[in-house]
Amino acid sequence: MVKQQRFLPVLCLLFATTFSMPILAQPANDDCTGAIPIDVGDTPIDTTSATSSGLAGGGCGGGSGGAWNDIWFSYTAPDNGNLSLSTCDQATFDSDLVIYDGDCSSLNEVGCNGDGTDPNTGVACTGFTSYAEMVVVAGVTYLVRVGGWADGDVGTGTLTLAFTSATLPVQTLDCILDPIDNTVAMTWANSDAYDEINIYLNGTLEAALPGSDASYTSGALGFGASQFCVEAILGGVLSQQVCCTVVILEPCPAADGIISDFPAPPVADGGSVSCGAGGFHAENHFWKKWNLNGQVGATNIELTCVEIGVNASTPGAGPTQPMAINVYLDEDGTQWPTVTSMTLIATYDFGLPGGIDNEVYPVIFPTPISIPCSSITGANATLVIDVMCYDLNQQDAFWMGTQDVATGAQAQPSFLSAAACGIPNPIDVAAIGFGDLQWVIEAHFNLLGTTCGGAAGLANFQCNNTDADTAVEVSWDAPASTPDSYDVYVDAALVANIPGTDNFYFTPGLTPYQQHTITVQEIVGGSAISDTNCSINVNPTNDTYDGAEPIGVGTVPFQCDPTFNGTDSPAIDIAVCDFGFGVQQQYNDIFFCYTATSTGPVIVTTCGATGDTNLSVYNNGCADDDPANVIACNDDATSGLCGVAAELIFDAVNGVSYMIRLGTFNPAGLASGDLTINDCVPPTNIAVDSDCNSGDVTLTWDAGTNWSSLEVTRDGGTIATLAVTDTSYVDAAVANGDHVYEVVADCGSGPNPTTVNTSVLTYAGQTDLIFAVEGLQTAGDLGAIDSGAALLLALTDAGRDAALLRMSPVDYACVTDADIANIWMMTGTVPTDYRINQAEGDLLGTLGNDGKGIYFEGGDHFGWQHQASLFDSRDGVDDGTYNTGDGDDLFTAMDGLNAGNLDTSDQVDVIYNQDNIGGNDWTDWLTPATTDAFGPNAAPAWKYAVSLGTPEYFTTVYYDTDSGGKTISSSWEFGGYGGDQVDLAGRYAVAFGGTEPEFRRGDSNGDGTVNIADPVQTLANLFSGGDDPGCADTADSNDDGSVNIADPVKTLGYLFSMQPPPPAPGPTDCGPDPTDDTVECLDYNTC
């Protein structure tokens, strides 16, 4: 009673109060044809009730989005001149500006901006507001479109226009440098009959020309960047300057020597590779290293200049690309390649001009970089140079220049590191499949005249792996004075004393997959006068085919590691054997030699191993690696239970030797585990069919050879013993749920099972079927989140009749049943995602055509490895962006958007829990389609949270199709959604056109009856922090589309003043909400 008494004054007030709700109307300038004329100065803007025009967003970059929920203005230029348009720091929403000439039927975009910069301060506009400048022509009317970056980005603010009369600038300026005399020939087109034309060089007036001139040739230029600008004058009024920049490279100053791997001056005529992540060019590091004593001896030096090859440079903002030269020293040669273990001597930042392509660019140090003596005295002292491209998260890019191997070969390898691509420390580019790339990096130095003490060590000291052996070949140049002998050490242990006339040595076999240090000392008069060493990662014997390891039936451990395994053999010829997906090379490969002891099929598998492996078999007597001899190959096991491990079967002949090649799919890939060879092949081509009407499970397989027994197990227990000639079995009336079957063959040496998973669901009229296929191709690995199970729980709690199957929809015959309203396809995210095939995609397209709602959740389907199918025309995603939006690992929070029938715009900064903890989910970027076959109404429903900064992108698209079922396409896992999953599932179901849950209006506490406790519950929720009703529709007693103080008034009037009851479904009978509003019913369980 105390709780009721507390609200008596409020209840009395309610009976004497009336309320009204505002109705929002679309603005008069919601469409282009209603554009409001404006002039310079401030104009209020309000897009809160605006709709979207359906036009493309601005095409000028600068953070332009879709200009959603747009309003229109028009401006007529009073004269030729310059116009600025600004919402900078003046709008409450993420704005876009798009400017057109022409009329509404023939719009021609002439300017735009998304995320602007304040021209007075140079600081980015707050809240992603906008600033644009453009040249306008007297008398021309321009249409100005103001919208939001994404659908649902709406608000109020001010649009400011400023105009300055000016002469029209010249057009099509072209500047050509004459490399002989360093002059520049300029040409342009005049836009008007000018009085005079001024030419500026680097901001200083260079020449004044007659107004009719349209060309100019400069005098000889000096080194560096020169900017020429053309300014027109008419009637004493100046035009904007139109500019071009030419660059004359200053050569490195004369020096005492050059540290280089090239026998002749290099040229930048080769290809390149670099890391890009999140749609932007990432921070990249391009490395070379040299033994200082092998290059300059034990003399103190200073670096004066570094020449670098430039394949291409594209600055993102301004005329130059921010770069740096980092100079490191590895004093004893053992710290490489761990960057943090080396000594950073100096960093020199510089700006690389844009437009330099396939050139060698000199980076001259204003102050030479001295290499201290203490770093040079070690015989294995190593100079390391890192050419670094900064990541500015802009549309900037840099590709390191290389010399084509056909032009000339370098002596040492090139290295790359990029943390954004999972390479924190330098890795040989050959290890990632780019062995033909040779970075052009040369360091120019002067000798300082100081000998650093100690012997210089042996020049050109080299350590190399040997084929088919774990011995290391050590070589060096003969010193000027022949020593008495050499002592050779391996890992500080003396292994040999050899004559002083020798200049090479082969060590004993060393432990593979380890780094070893080889030291050679010059011995004179019984004492060491120099000490030279190298560290080397020792390859295994079977790193090349001529060292193939003999193996028989059974299991042998393996390891593929780019640090220790090269990619030495030719790629597979897809005309002979096709891995699929365009795969040809087996990276980081190792070799085995198997001699058959029987005739018949042999299975070779890495199932259970870590890493993405592939296999091939050569019928060559283990004598060569000719791709023409390949008889079998596999990239990913077809059973789907081995993940990305490989498995193949080939027919062997007793006594014949076959070479087995094992490698990785990715050049930088790591793999380890067991390689298994079995000549008692378990059942193959196993298939399972679950009857959706009877619950019968039918298994089929191919007949085998040499089997002595055959049995079938379900969930670990034997359910049938069969004749060895049987090829099928029916397990009748199996209980609903997930089941694991094994068909087990035995040749007398032990069981050899083949495993297959299936789901059983005897269909009973469920409206929503969830096909949770994640894990079916990754040995059951679902990652950290079981998204299918999460969705089942959420749909059930939202009042849906849902069921879950862990199988492909093509294997469930009842999927076409008319009672099924929605299909939920849960393929998961990388690396445990399921890749659909064309048949599955065609089925989804057909089901959508038949009127079923389709939810598709996929981590790589849209942005990386798209499978074309009929579903493409129904997915709502722009077909032209398939395989281009592979995304990044930054998606950890999301903002909702208004996609029409699916409105999540009230959800802001919702946490997203990634499925691949500690790895990379690669959340695809989705672009809504405008030309899919079922209408133009595709819109984003979720985007990358604004709180995370840039870049902004969409991750869910809702397609409100003109016919058939609706579609929701998403690149993240429902189970990772950190908000109210029941609420989200309910919204999705309603967006599909699902039936609203049933409830009693007025029963806000959900106890099944409407009484005084219900308005008390609503008042507590509104005014004193009481619990939200599980079904908000129950509290919306007057059905006006919102829950407010008028609702308990309505209920009290019905209970105590003989007023009409709350609207349908009413307070006594259950039913759905007949009103289309934003109030939802998510949890009401008393009907």
- Interatomic CA distance for residues 689 and 760, integer angstroms: 9
Q: H helices within 232-305, ranges in order?
A: 292-295
**How much is the pLDDT for 449?**
67
**How much is the pLDDT for 280?**
55
Q: For the segment 419-468, what is each residue's pLDDT rounded down to a tens digit?
A: 877 788 898 887 777 777 889 999 999 988 665 654 567 887 888 889 89
The enclosing H or E element of 792 equals: helix 787-797
When mean pLDDT is compared across 5-9, 339-343, 592-596, 721-725, the lowest value belongs to 5-9
> Which residue ranges make up each domain of the chain?
1-30+1012-1080, 32-165, 171-248, 257-450, 457-536, 541-678, 687-760, 768-991
Q: For the segment 748-766, what is each residue's pLDDT rounded down to a tens digit?
A: 778 889 999 899 999 999 9
- What's the CATH fold of domain 32-165? Jelly Rolls (2.60.120)
**How much is the pLDDT for 65?**
67
CA distances from 531 to 331, 456, 526 (A): 13, 9, 14
Better-scored residue on pLDDT, 107 or 922: 107
- Interatomic CA distance for residues 833 and 782, integer angstroms: 8
- Interatomic CA distance for residues 538 and 467, integer angstroms: 11
**How much is the pLDDT for 298?**
56
* pLDDT band with cut points at 50, 70 and 90 for residue 1058: confident
Class for domain 687-760, per CATH?
A: mainly beta
**How much is the pLDDT for 451?**
59
**How much is the pLDDT for 324?**
95
Query: Burial of 773 by CB count in 10 Å (0-12 exposed, 13-18 middle, 19+ buried)?
Result: buried
395, pLDDT greater than 60: no
Same fold, 257-450 and 541-678: yes
Q: For the segment 801-829, what is each residue's pLDDT rounded down to a tens digit?
A: 999 999 999 999 999 999 999 999 999 98
Better-scored residue on pLDDT, 68 or 632: 632
Query: Average of pLDDT values for 883-889?
Result: 76
When mean pLDDT is compared across 25-39, 215-229, 272-286, 861-875, the lowest value belongs to 272-286
The enclosing H or E element of 387 equals: strand 382-389
Q: What is the CATH number of domain 457-536?
A: 2.60.40.10
**How much is the pLDDT for 307?**
96
Query: Average of pLDDT values for 17-33?
Result: 63
**How much is the pLDDT for 68?**
87
171, pLDDT greater than 80: yes
Query: Average of pLDDT values for 1045-1066?
Result: 90
- Interatomic CA distance for residues 371 and 382, integer angstroms: 11
Q: For the segment 531-559, what is each residue's pLDDT rounded down to a tens digit?
A: 888 888 899 999 999 999 999 999 999 99
- What's the CATH fold of domain 257-450? Jelly Rolls (2.60.120)
Better-scored residue on pLDDT, 397 or 595: 595
Q: Are strands 215-217 and 183-189 parallel, antiparallel or unpaired?
A: antiparallel
Q: For the segment 27-68, what is each residue's pLDDT rounded down to a tens digit?
A: 889 999 999 999 999 999 999 989 888 777 666 644 456 788
- Interatomic CA distance for residues 465 and 470, integer angstroms: 7
CATH 1.10.10.60 fits 171-248, yes or no: no
Interacting residues of 129 by C-beta distance below 8 A, sequence separation 6+: 87, 88, 89, 90, 91, 94, 95, 115, 116, 157
Dihedral sign from CA coordinates of 526, 527, 529, 530: positive
* pLDDT band with cut points at 50, 70 and 90 for residue 21: very low
**How much is the pLDDT for 541?**
95
Q: For the segment 1005-1021, what is each residue's pLDDT rounded down to a tens digit?
A: 999 999 999 999 999 88
The percentage of the chain sitting over the pLDDT mark of 90, rounded to a whole number, equals 55
**How much is the pLDDT for 1022?**
86
Q: For the segment 587-614, what is each residue's pLDDT rounded down to a tens digit?
A: 899 999 999 988 889 999 998 898 889 9
* pLDDT band with cut points at 50, 70 and 90 for residue 732: very high
Residue 987 phi, psi (nearest 5): -65, -45
* pLDDT band with cut points at 50, 70 and 90 for residue 327: very high
Q: Collapse the DSSP code of 94 into the 3-class scheme (helix H, G, I; strand E, B; otherwise coil) and give the result.
A: coil
**How much is the pLDDT for 23?**
37
517, pLDDT greater than 80: yes
Q: For the segment 907-943, what is each residue's pLDDT rounded down to a tens digit?
A: 999 999 998 866 677 888 999 998 898 999 999 999 9
* pLDDT band with cut points at 50, 70 and 90 for residue 22: very low
Mean residue pLDDT across the chain? 87
* pLDDT band with cut points at 50, 70 and 90 for residue 961: very high
For 130, the token pair is 């906008």
**How much is the pLDDT for 64?**
59
- Interatomic CA distance for residues 147 and 29, integer angstroms: 12
Query: Which among 541, 542, 540, 551 is positioned nearest to 657, based on CA atoms?
Result: 551
When mean pLDDT is compared across 109-123, 407-421, 644-658, 1049-1063, the lowest value belongs to 407-421
CA distances from 503 to 476, 933, 1061 (A): 5, 73, 104
Query: Average of pLDDT values for 506-510?
Result: 96
**How much is the pLDDT for 375?**
57
For 1001, the token pair is 């209006």
Query: Average of pLDDT values for 222-239?
Result: 90
Q: For the segment 70-85, what is each residue's pLDDT rounded down to a tens digit?
A: 999 999 999 999 999 9
Query: Average of pLDDT values for 328-353?
Result: 87
641, pLDDT greater than 70: no
Query: Average of pLDDT values for 682-690?
Result: 90
- Interatomic CA distance for residues 232 and 214, integer angstroms: 11
Under CATH, which architecture does the 768-991 domain have? Answer: 3-Layer(aba) Sandwich (3.40)
When mean pLDDT is compared across 405-414, 495-504, 511-520, the lowest value belongs to 405-414
CA distances from 100 to 95, 96, 513, 892 (A): 17, 13, 64, 37
Under CATH, which architecture does the 541-678 domain have? Answer: Sandwich (2.60)
Q: For the segment 305-324, what is each residue's pLDDT rounded down to a tens digit?
A: 999 999 988 776 667 889 99
Is 1021:1027 a contact under the CB 8 Å cutoff? yes
* Omega before residue 1067 within 30° of 0, cis: no
Q: How far is CA 667 from the centre of its chain?
A: 18
Q: For the segment 615-629, what is each residue's pLDDT rounded down to a tens digit?
A: 999 999 999 999 999
Q: For the segment 818-857, what is each residue's pLDDT rounded down to a tens digit?
A: 999 999 999 998 888 899 999 999 999 999 999 999 999 9
For 284, the token pair is 């990249």
